Amino acid sequence: MTMPGNSAPAALHAPIDARDRPPSSVYGPVAWMRANLFNGWLSSGVTILFGYLIIRAAIGFVDWGFLNAIWTVPALPNGNPDPATCRAVRGTGACWAAVGDKWRFITFGRYPYDQQWRPGICIALFLSLYVMSAMRQFWRKELAFIWLGILTLIGVLMWGGVLGLRYVPQDEWGGLPITLILATFGLAFAFPLAVFVALGRRSTQMPAVKLICVLYVELIRGVPLVALLFMASVMLPLFLPSGMNIDKLLRAQIAIILFVGAYVAEVIRGGLQALPKGQAEAADALGLSYWQKTMRITLPQALRLVIPPLVNTFIGFFKDTSLVLIIGIFDLLTSGKTAMSDPTWQGSSTEIYIVMAIVYFGFCFAMSTYSRSVERKLDSAHNR
């Protein structure tokens, strides 16, 4: 929906912030340390104190996580792993063997073991979708079709039932694909909703529509996601005619879409507001209709402006999908917690938490790094 990348704002003229540079008169490691670590007695003291603490913590972590850690355990005669060596080092060393034993369960949940290549491919598809959406070459209307295509492909792979794939019902899905599905489908469906809500909220001609949009946004933003998920899981069935039922994953997805819609609407509204008034006025002067003006002039510009905050919002609710743990949906965090409750690996929950934290961090950090790079490229004058 955005314009092609060749009309990018003049990023080349961004001023270089001189104060972020070290004074040019001193170079070399000693001078650098003098200027940046031991500049005055207070600075030196703090450096030494924190340096000591960091080294202590690093040594402790390396001891626990690497030197004393157990990476594999022997198997018992019945084929199950024998956690005795892990129990022996409890408290002094990490038991990565627990992660090694459980990683497929944590990643794919209860998806049939022999079919787990399917969610595996889905994860790869999701990643490629993110990468494509991040590239400027793809910022065109066709991106919507790519999304549609890939999401359909993911649905086919997960459900199966066609092309000789075995049908796998939704209650057997789990792990990382669920997290990615909730976040991505959440964005895909919330985005059009959010566009309309943002336009509605800025409407001057239709006070009733504006009121509805304001109410929707403020109501949703005023309550925690937990309460919404809770409502979806407990109350949504009551709202439907008796006999009609929707799956609990879909119910959670609906709650997430409504939640994301309200936040993304505010982001888009911010972008629309940041556009110079002249754009809309010029469009009016050309005699364009409201939809022509919106779809061809204002919205594409506004959307390009809001890409960094949009990515930040996406990061936010990518993390928030973990809240479905509370209503018993089998996402990455839930499958990790289920893996921890296996009596064999009792006491290894810290290790599993760390691995899950790294997975979430990986996704979020990549996205936030990307968002910052886009922000830097966008013309700062347009930005706020």
Partner 1 sequence: MSSTFDPRLANARIAPKRGIRLSWSDPKFRNIIFQILIVSALGLAIWYVAHNTQRNLEIQRVATGFGFLGRTAGIPIGEALVPYDPAVNTYGRALVVGLLNTLKVAVIGIVLSTILGTIVGICRLSKNWLISRISAVYVETLRDIPVLLQLLLWYTLLQGLPAPRQAINIGDAVFLSNRGLKMPLIEWQDAHWWTLAAFVLGALGTLAWNRTALRQRDETGKKPPVWPAALGLMVLLPVLVWASLGAPFAIEYPALRGFNFSGGGIISPEYFALLLGLTIYTSAYIAEIVRSGIQAVPRGQWEAAGALGLRQGAVLRLIVLPQATRVIIPPMTSQYLNITKNSSLAVAIGFQDVVSLSQTTLNQTGQAIEGVAIVMAVFLTISLSISLFMNWYNARIALTER
Partner 2 sequence: MMRLTLTGGMMATALLAAAPTYAQPSGSATLDAVKARGMVICGIAGAVPGFSLPDSQGVMRGIDADSCRNVAAAALGDATKIKFTALTTTNRFTALQSGEVDLLVRSTTWTLGREANLGLEFAGINYYDGTGFLVKKSLGVKGAKEMDGATICVQPGTSTELAISDYFRQSKMKFTPILIQDLAEIQSAFLSGRCDSYSTDSSALATFRATQPNKDDFVLLPDIISKEPLGYVVRKGDDKWFDIVRWTYFATVAAEEYGIDSKNVDEKLKDTNPDVRRLLGLEGDMGKALAIDNKWAYNVVKQVGNFGETWDRNITVLGVPRGINNIWNKGGLHYAPPIR
Min dist CB 234 to partner 2, Å, is 5
Residue 89, both tokens: 């080092």
Pairwise CA distance, residues 188 & 226, whole Å: 21
Which of 46, 223, 227, 240 touches partner 2 by CB under 8 A?
Answer: 240
Is 215 a binding residue for partner 2 by CB under 8 A? The answer is yes
Q: Residue 294 or 335: which CB sits closer to partner 2?
A: 335
Min dist CB 323 to partner 2, Å, is 13
Pairwise CA distance, residues 63 & 93, whole Å: 7
Residue 172 binds: one of partner 1, partner 2, none (C-beta under 5 to 8 A by kind): partner 2
Of 19-27, 287-295, 297-305, 344-352: span binding partner 2 (CB under 8 A): 344-352
Question: Buried b vs exposed e over 20-44: b needs ≥16 C-beta within 10 Å?
Answer: eeeeeeeeeeeeeeeeeeeeeeeee
Which of 133, 100, 103 is closest to 120 using CA atoms? 103
Pairwise CA distance, residues 108 & 122, whole Å: 11
Which of 184, 233, 321, 322 touches partner 2 by CB under 8 A?
Answer: 233
Of 10-18, 100-108, 214-222, 276-284: span binding partner 2 (CB under 8 A): 214-222
Site string for partner 2, 81-100 (x = CB under 8 A): --x-----------------
CB atoms under 10 Å from CB of 307, counted, come to 21
The number of angstroms, rounded, from the C-alpha of 21 to the middle of its chain's C-alpha atoms is: 33
Pairwise CA distance, residues 358 & 364, whole Å: 10
Pairwise CA distance, residues 139 & 132, whole Å: 9
Which of 116, 344, 368, 380 touches partner 1 by CB under 8 A?
Answer: 368
Point out which residues bind partner 2 (CB under 8 A).
83, 110, 112, 169, 171-172, 211, 214-215, 218-219, 222, 233-235, 237-238, 240, 242-243, 245, 248, 325-328, 337-338, 340-341, 343-344, 346, 349
